[in-house]
Structure 1
Amino acid sequence: MRCNGTAGDEPEQDTIGGRISLAREALDLSPIEAAGAVDVGPAVWSDWERDRSEPPPQMLARIAETLQVTLYWLLTGRGVGPRWQDLIEISPSTLECCWQAMEPSPLVDIFFPSSRLTARR
């Protein structure tokens, strides 16, 4: 998520397939390795990344765990996404700016019941 002080920023990867691909690349996993980690064939994984099909709902949590992202990010593009190895440390003030720019969502209560966003309401 880009942080420019507005709550309307759009996620850079706007499809679930794009987010799956982005998160896999951040972990430096091949599509074959990622597919094997969630027990699907490489062609199925490829179809997900290319938005030819979507993962079944019962697989989403497993995919998010494998890719080390939150289910909320995988579904929406907001929240905790991929951690790139070469990222520099983010200052607390920058992190606060991005946190405040996030729009409250009913999904926050579901996926992050003890989060600061819930407490802020």
Structure 2
Amino acid sequence: MDQEDYGEGQATLGDRLTAAREGAALELGDLADRLGVRVETLEGWEADQAEPRAAFLGRLSGMLGVSLVWLMTGDGEGPQDGDGLRQMLRAELRDLRRTLEEGAQRIDRLERMLGED
């Protein structure tokens, strides 16, 4: 994918969003779940029938590994190559493991407080 194909005037926000989601190897449903929106909402954004609010744009750029400027205008860093995507996924896995470990510790603590094993 040549980033020039996504320059201002050549591609829409929806086009760039679709390219970034596909570049991150995410299905519509997976990204919608991670964002906490309905699949239909995300489909509307990708089809340029609606635009995400500013808060969602920031989250989308982070989740998809693209710069916010690229997502909005087509200028700057677009979809990552395979190595960049792998690094992003590894970082997300580390965060998930940490969250799961913290959750397991909380469960253990609550069970001890209740006297359950």
TM, length-normalised to structure 2: 0.62
Amino acid at match of 1:63: L
**Is residue 38–residue 66 contact of structure 1 (8 Å, CA) maintained in 2?**
no
Following TM superposition, the consecutive aligned residue runs of length 4 or more in structure 1 with deviations greater than 4 angstroms are none
The structure 1 residue matched to 2:59, chosen from 27, 51, 62, is 62
Corresponding position of 2:37 = 40
Looking at structure 2, the residues matched to 56 and 10 of structure 1 have their Cα atoms a distance apart, in angstroms, of 21
**Is residue 6–residue 16 contact of structure 2 (8 Å, CA) maintained in 1?**
no
Percentage of pairs with the same residue:
38
Q: CA RMSD in A?
A: 2.3
User: Displacement, 1:85?
Assistant: 2.2
Corresponding position of 1:11 = 7
Corresponding position of 2:28 = 31
Looking at structure 2, the residues matched to 22 and 10 of structure 1 have their Cα atoms a distance apart, in angstroms, of 9
User: Displacement, 1:33?
Assistant: 0.5
Whether 2:49 is the aligned partner of 1:52: answer yes
Looking at structure 1, the residues matched to 6 and 14 of structure 2 have their Cα atoms a distance apart, in angstroms, of 16
**Looking at both structures, which has the greater relative contact order when contacts are Cα pairs under 8 Å and sequence separation is at least 6?**
1
Amino acid at match of 2:39: P
Q: Which has the larger radius of gyration?
A: 2
TM, length-normalised to structure 1: 0.60
Looking at structure 2, the residues matched to 34 and 82 of structure 1 have their Cα atoms a distance apart, in angstroms, of 15
CA offset digits 1:66-114 (Å, max 9, x no partner): 111110111110101101328xxxxxxxxxxxxxxxxxxxxxxxxxxxx
Corresponding position of 1:93 = none
Between structures 1 and 2, the one with greater helix share:
2
CA change 1:70–1:10 in 2 (3 A) is closer
Looking at structure 2, the residues matched to 77 and 47 of structure 1 have their Cα atoms a distance apart, in angstroms, of 19
Corresponding position of 2:73 = 76
Count, aligned residues: 81
